[in-house]
Chains A and B, each alone.
Chain A
Amino acid sequence: MTDLLWLVIALPLAGAFVLHFFGRYLREPLSGWLATGAIAAAFVVSAVAAVPFFQGGDVEAEQIAIWEWMPAIGANFELQWDPLSALMALVVTGVGSLIHLFAIGYMHGDERFHRFFTYLNLFAASMLTLVLAGNYGMLFVGWELVGLCSYLLVGFWYTRPTAAAAAKKAFVVNRIGDFGFLIGLMVVFATFGTMSYTGIFERVGSELTTGAATAIGLLFLVGAAGKSAQVPLYVWLPDAMEGPTPVSALIHAATMVTAGVYVVARSAPIYAEAPIASGAVAVIGAITAIWAASIAIAQSDIKRVLAYSTVSQLGYMFMGVGATAYVAGVFHLMTHAFFKALLFLGAGSVIHAMSDEQDMHKMGGLRRRMPVTAATMGIATLAIAGIPPLAGFWSKDEILGSLFERGGMYAALWIVGLVTALMTAFYMARQWVLVFWGEPRWEEGVEPHESPRVMTLPLIVLAVLSIVAGFVNTPLRFTLEHFLEPAFEGVSLQHPPEGWGMFLLLAGLSTLAGVAGVAAAWLAYNRPPQAWRRFQDGFGRLWTAWENAYWVDDLYATTIVGPGRRGAELAAFQVDAGGIDGAVNGVGWLFQRVGQSLRGLQTGYVRNYGAGFAAGLLVVAIWLVARGI
């Protein structure tokens, strides 16, 4: 079956290709269905190919060569098929299919409908390239292509200047991360002489020094921080909400942004040699988690809340993989894909219903108009808040447990995680309450309505997944752990503490945090606006700081972008045009000047000429005669 694995990438790619060239000839829904079909087929193919892993037993990871690309640096097109990539592929294609489906409804009536699905399919192909790649070179192909698709999709409504700027910002900030990632790749090649996973991991023990491993780990962290929106490179993700909501769901929640987590997990054998780099991953994750969570508390834009929430949750995943609890990290990646996609799609449904209104202050009471959306989003909110037995509880708890068990610095991170969990529960519940409860605060002329079936169906499916997905890895039954084991062969994994006592204690704590957060939000926000405004004012300047995301964008603008631009202008207009080119033109000018002044010698007076002649003669004569004496 793995012989046909390339179809997983090829199917959506073909979909994109067909849609690109012939999309305009298809009627509107047809192109959407085509795209959905392509990615659904990819899901089927990957599911079938993954069957051996589900069956358990000793299943070897497979490398499937496709064609040689840059053999000189060991970067070729080859696929890696092991449980980790299988899981990622399933998540991508599965969640992707649902989001495609949703988008058929959401993008209804857009004049570039087929173009949207072209990009979606292209994105799916790129993301699958990323996760199925058999070496870092090919991984980087996918890594960059998803960035491209993100650029295209964020800037889909290109006539909005904010969208175009956000798209550019997303790509550029990602590129800054890539700067590190690329250098990491160079170090990898310089160290191992190849880029293929198998080649590298075989030699990790023998060739890799701690120094090199740390370098690679930290450099990969830079790249991962860019792609997965970690501090300090997370700033692009909230802006990326300018894109259509299915894009936010697919790219900026479920799949692309998790690529960083994937890379760290994939590079587990290298991180295993570099505890400092691992620790850095965890610390960055922790900082991001609490930092973004705090910002999310005060956001009023429905999608921005989700964006900062995503950043925060990605921080969780980083904490997990940083603590070498790779399974926990990947587990959270998976569950997060479900409930966050659900949240985004739900938000999309709301925005769709509210005629593109995104300000939660102008919503309220929607539960009656949109029961399905309200219910599914409620489930997702509880899931992300970590309320048992929903999916988020299990995965989050496993991360927290692993941090606790690891001890030392990681114990401090555990506290951070716990606080973040509290905040997460609060702001998610706040959102849910603001949108669906209370009295309607709608603008004039807005008539919310439940979304069509094509949009609600994915919501329902995802809601189900958000409920049940947690059970794949519980202290009762570590299914996922066993499933992923072949991918982390030879790497020691961090686990939560053994024993029910500890589990119940820790789970109790995190559940308490979740419940407390939800309850606080309910109490604070299920009231008239004046009341919750007073509540917010109670936080004083802190709330303003959160509302403005700690003014980080302004900070970057004044410290990096502004000086950078002034520097570039200095280089372009002073140094280049004035200095270097001025020197070049100065040479020309000098010749002209010398020529002009020499012209003065040619006075037109024949006797002057005679004198010049005589002078030359004298010099020659004296020179020659002097040689003779």
Chain B
Amino acid sequence: MSVEVVIFVLMGITAVGGAVTVVMARNPVYSGIGLLGTMLSLAVIYVAQLAHFVAAIQIIVYAGAVMTLFLFVIMLIGVDRAEDTSENLPHQRLIVGGLALVTVGFGIFLGFSSGFDWVPAATGDPVPESTNGTVQAVGESLFGTWVLAFEVTALLLTVAAAGAIALAYYRTGPRSEE
């Protein structure tokens, strides 16, 4: 049993646990914490898969920036308390449960059918060198073959900035009472 397996089992459990927390927690703050747990677990798994740079970004961007933003908003709009999680839409849980059941059932069926290969294009065992996600390796790729995509993220951020401004910054006149 290699180290990777150990890491996978441990982190897998925490990741799933975090995810379940996100969905089940009555308090949005706990959901946020759960999400944070999942992200950190995934970061560890990334490291185990030699994706150092991605793991770092995962922690910086997700755990750092994104989650902070989430928690900030939670606090800002004051939903940091337990809420009623009972279902008010008729049949919603039934439907979702059914869908989940079908999905899981189909997944298990696939697992036993042995006709499903997750990475059929893989030619053999992973070669550590080729996917060692150092900053340099990733950077070369990012600024080489992926340069246009990288530039497009600039557009994305412009959109985010302009959108955020448009949505939140200006206040128009008093709301019309309808």
Q: Answer yes or no: A and B touching, Cβ < 8 Å.
A: yes
Kindly state the separation between the CA atoms of A511 and B9 in the bound complex, as whole angstroms: 135
Which residues of A from 596 to 629 have beta carbons under 8 Å from B? 603, 605, 607-608, 611, 614-615, 618, 622, 625, 628-629
Known contacts A614-B99, A618-B102; A607/B92 CB under 8 A: yes
From B89, B99, B110, contact of A608 by CB (8 A): B89
Q: Is the CB of B110 within 8 A of A629?
A: yes
Q: Is B113 in contact with chain A by the CB < 8 A criterion?
A: yes
Q: Which residues of A contact B92 (CB under 8 A)?
A: 605, 607-608, 611
**Least distance between A150 CB and chain B CB atoms (Å):** 78
Closest-by-CB residue of B relative to A614 is: B99
Q: Which residues in chain B, 120-143, are within 8 Å of chain A measured between CB atoms?
A: none
Q: Which residue of B95, B110, B116 is within 8 Å of A615 (Cβ)?
A: B95
Contact partner, B95, options A611, A622, A625, Cβ 8 Å: A611
Given A608-B89, A608-B92, do A622 and B99 touch, yes or no (CB 8 Å)? no
Given the complex, which residues of A lie within 8 Å of B99, measured CB to CB?
611, 614-615, 618
Residues of chain A with a CB closer than 8 A to B95's CB = 611, 615
Partner of A629, one of B96, B102, B115: B115
Contact in complex: B113, A629 (CB < 8 Å): yes
**Contacts from B to A (Cβ < 8 Å):** 89, 92, 95-96, 99, 102-103, 106, 110, 113, 115-116
Smallest CB gap from B89: residue in A: A605
- A611 near B110 (CB under 8 angstroms)? no
* A188 CB to nearest chain B CB (Å): 76
- Residues in B neighbouring A628, C-beta threshold 8 A: 115-116
A629 and B106 within 8 A (CB): no
Contacts of B96 in A (CB 8 A): 611, 614
Q: Which residues of A contact B102 (CB under 8 A)?
A: 618, 622
List, in ascending order, chain A residues with CB within 8 A of B110's CB.
625, 629
Q: How far is the CA of A622 from the CA of B99 in the complex (A)?
A: 12
Q: How far is the CB of A170 from chain B (nearest CB, A)?
A: 74
Least CB distance, B118 to chain A, in whole angstroms: 12
| Complex CA–CA separation, A629 to B99 (angstroms) | 21
The interface residues of chain A lying within 8 Å CB-to-CB of B106 are 622, 625
Q: Quick one: CB contact mask for A387-429 with B, threshold 8 Å, 1 for yes?
A: 0000000000000000000000000000000000000000000
Closest Cβ neighbor of A626 among chain B residues: B106
Supposing A611-B95, A618-B102, A622-B106 touch, asked if A629 and B116 sit within 8 A by C-beta, the answer is yes
Q: What distance in Å separates the Cβ of B109 from its nearest Cβ neighbour in chain A?
A: 9
Q: How far is the CB of B103 from chain A (nearest CB, A)?
A: 6
Q: Which residues in A have their C-beta under 8 angstroms from that of B113? A: 629
Q: Which residue of A has the minimal Cβ distance to B102?
A: A618
Beyond known contacts A611-B96, A615-B99, A625-B110: 15 more, CB 8 A cutoff? A605-B92, A607-B89, A608-B89, A611-B92, A611-B95, A614-B96, A614-B99, A615-B95, A622-B106, A625-B106, A625-B116, A628-B116, A629-B113, A629-B115, A629-B116
What are 13 sample pairs from A and B whose C-beta atoms fall under 8 A apart?
A605-B89, A608-B89, A611-B99, A614-B96, A615-B95, A618-B102, A618-B103, A622-B102, A625-B110, A628-B115, A628-B116, A629-B110, A629-B116
Closest chain B CB from A171 CB (angstroms): 71
Tell me the bound Cα distance from A607 to B85 in angstroms.
14
Q: Mark out the residues of chain A between 231 and 277 whose CB falls within 8 Å of any chain B CB in the assembled complex.
A: none
A605: chain B residues at CB < 8 Å are 89, 92
Q: Give chain B residues whose Cβ lies under 8 Å from the Cβ of A607.
A: 89, 92
Residue ID in chain B nearest A610 by CB atoms:
B96
Bound form: Cα–Cα A614–B95 in Å: 10
CB proximity to B under 8 Å, residues A429-476: none
In angstroms, how far is the closest chain B Cβ from the Cβ of A604? 10
Closest residue of chain A to B98, judged by CB?
A615
| C-alpha gap A618/B110 in the complex (Å) | 14
Contacts of A603 in B (CB 8 A): 89
Tell me the bound Cα distance from A477 to B95 in angstroms: 111
- Give the distance in Å from the alpha carbon of A408 to the alpha carbon of B149 in the complex: 115
Residue of A at shortest CB range from B94?
A: A611
Q: Which residue of B lies closest to A603 (CB)?
A: B89
> How many Å lie between the Cα of A481 and that of B96 in the bound state?
106
Bound-state CA distance A169–B163 (Å) is 86
Q: What CA separation (Å) do A628 and B116 show in the bound complex?
A: 8
The 10 closest A-B pairs by CB, nearest first: A629-B115, A611-B95, A629-B113, A614-B99, A605-B89, A622-B106, A618-B99, A615-B99, A607-B92, A611-B96
Q: How far is the CB of B169 from chain A (nearest CB, A)?
A: 26
- The complex places the Cα of A628 from the Cα of B106 at a distance, in Å, of 13
Closest to B95 in A: A611
Docked Cα-Cα span, A586 to B106, in Å, equals 42
Give the distance to chain A from B105, nearest Cβ to Cβ, in Å.
10
A627 to chain B, nearest CB (A): 11
A625 to B120 Cα, complex, angstroms: 14
- How many Å lie between the Cα of A614 and that of B103 in the bound state? 10
Residue of B nearest to A612 (CB): B95
Closest to A605 in B: B89
Q: How far is the CB of A610 from chain B (nearest CB, A)?
A: 9
* Residue of A608, A611, A625, A628 with highest tally of chain B CB at under 10 A: A611
How far is A611 from B99 in the complex, measured between Cα atoms in Å? 8
Q: How far is the CA of A607 from the CA of B89 in the complex (A)?
A: 9
Q: Which B residues lie within 8 Å of A618 (CB)?
A: 99, 102-103
Whole-angstrom distance between the Cβ of B174 and the nearest chain A Cβ? 27
Bound-complex Cα distance A611 to B96 (A)? 7
A residues 99-132 near B (Cβ < 8 Å) are none
Minimal beta-carbon separation of A46 from chain B (angstroms): 96
* Nearest CB of A to B33, in Å: 23
**Bound CA span A629–B116, Å:** 7
Complex CA–CA separation, A618 to B103 (angstroms): 7
Cα separation A614 to B99 with both chains bound (whole Å): 8
CB distance from B84 to the nearest CB of A (A): 15
